[in-house]
Amino acid sequence: MAELILVTGGAGFIGRHLARELLGRGQRVRVLDALIPQVHPNGGQPADLPADVDFRHGDVRDPDAVAAALEGVDAVVHLAAEVGVGQSMYEAARYTATNELGTAILMERLMDHPVRRIVTASSMSIYGEGLYRDADGALVEDAVRGVLHDGQRSWDPCDARGRPLTPVATPEWKAPALSSVYALNKYVQERMTHIMAAPYGIESTCLRLFNVYGPGQALSNPYTGVLAIFAARLMNGQPPMIFEDGEQRRDFVHVGDVARAFADALDHPAAAGGTFNIGSGADRSVREVARALGAAMGKNDLEPDILGKARTGDIRHCYCDTTLAREVLGFEARQDFGEGLADLAQWLAGQTAEDRAATAREELEARGLVA
């Protein structure tokens, strides 16, 4: 009989794609999701959640709801989380309750309902600044930016002698540098998963996701993925709003590749006990990506609005070293970025979005979180 996979937060962006991927592989899927309004403003199950999914409306912080959802389950993918670096800096209690307490409750309930394996979603945010190389060729794990302020000439980290550092792809062995409450939450989720699973005979895997994009993102959530925020602006005739100078570099990976990575991680023998980066392996500037999305949407006239300001908790450069996932799991991202943007633009053409990016910026500024 096919395995039953529980996906916490499975009505969200990644979860819906993962549900389709697992069903396509012949698995059965159960979803536990609280349907929070920030992600699901219309309430109710998303229309594109597959009909074959066993949906349970419940909060991962509710022990009874979690226990009921675990009945008969063979494996778990833990996606349930509050997501957003900026918002985490002023709603720390809410983020910590969902992300850390919620994970603790899930792991406690797994003591009574052990499963074969749990795969937990982590984030590239745990790295803080990515890996760098200095002018002498030495790798630098602990790069730190100086005090940021309006009109700053250089946003990039320097070494102790003031020489600029060069970003390189960030591997899993780089030490965490937790620069936001969200980053702290995701690292706690990672460690709690590994620490609590093993004593109960449960295999554990964590996937550190880089910038995930694609059809189905929550367009009216101003703290979600950057491409969704840009899309909401463009759909409302407004230019993408970019902090700093737009030259910060990230790795954008399509949600279809991410769904495949989770499905693979549930089954691959070598995934047990491991933590893996999941990205495309290509780095792009945020300004470049904003322009490319505008072009894909036919909005070339809306040139990005470069703010020249920094948000507390943001990092400069971090992109993915994909070596470990490729060598251990045989995983590589397949989606071409240009084709992925075209796929996203086609989906966006049938959507509406409330642009809340300016409101989110005002909220951060009012709390002194923008410099």
Residue for token digits 């009012």?
A: 366
In terms of average pLDDT, the best of 81-95, 248-262, 298-312 is 248-262
Q: What is the mean pLDDT of residues 185-189?
A: 98
Q: 311 and 370 in contact (C-beta within 8 Å)?
A: yes
State the pairing for strand pair 132-133/139-140. Answer: antiparallel
Q: pLDDT over 90 for what percent of the chain?
A: 71
13-30 pLDDT per residue, tens: 999 999 999 999 999 999
Q: Please count the other Cβ atoms lying within 10 Å of the Cβ belonging to residue 333.
A: 26
User: In the prediction, which pLDDT does 149 show?
Assistant: 55
Q: Is 182 a catalytic residue?
A: yes
The secondary structure of 136-199 as a DSSP string is: TS-EES--------TT-S--S-B-TTSPBPEE-PBPTTSPP---SHHHHHHHHHHHHHHHHHGG
150, pLDDT greater than 60: no
User: In the prediction, which pLDDT does 367 show?
Assistant: 66
Q: What is the mean pLDDT of residues 327-332?
A: 96
161, pLDDT greater than 70: yes
292: part of which helix (H) or strand (E)?
Answer: helix 286-296
| Range in 310-314, 318-322, 340-344 the model is least confident about | 310-314
Residue 276 β-bridge partners: 207
User: In the prediction, which pLDDT does 217 show?
Assistant: 87
Give the pLDDT band of residue 38 (cuts 50, 70, 90).
Answer: confident
pTM score, two decimals? 0.94
Closest CA to 104 of 8, 15, 215, 25: 8
User: In the prediction, which pLDDT does 357 show?
Assistant: 61
Distance of CA 61 to the CA centre of its chain: 20
Give the pLDDT band of residue 283 (cuts 50, 70, 90).
Answer: very high
> Position 63: which residue type?
P
User: In the prediction, which pLDDT does 170 show?
Assistant: 98
Return the axis-axis angle of helices 286-296 and 337-348, rounded to nearest 10°. 50
Quote the tokens at residue 51. 């009909």
| Range in 87-96, 125-134, 148-157, 170-179 the model is least confident about | 148-157
Ordered structural domains, the chain, with CATH: 4-366 (3.40.50.720)
271, pLDDT greater than 70: yes
Closest CA to 242 of 170, 250, 180: 250
358, pLDDT greater than 70: no
User: In the prediction, which pLDDT does 154 show?
Assistant: 73
Give the pLDDT band of residue 327 (cuts 50, 70, 90).
Answer: very high
| 95, 182, 213, 319: the active-site residue | 182
128-148 pLDDT per residue, tens: 999 999 999 999 999 987 665
Give the pLDDT band of residue 368 (cuts 50, 70, 90).
Answer: low
Dihedral, CA atoms, 269, 107, 58, 256, nearest 10 degrees? -30
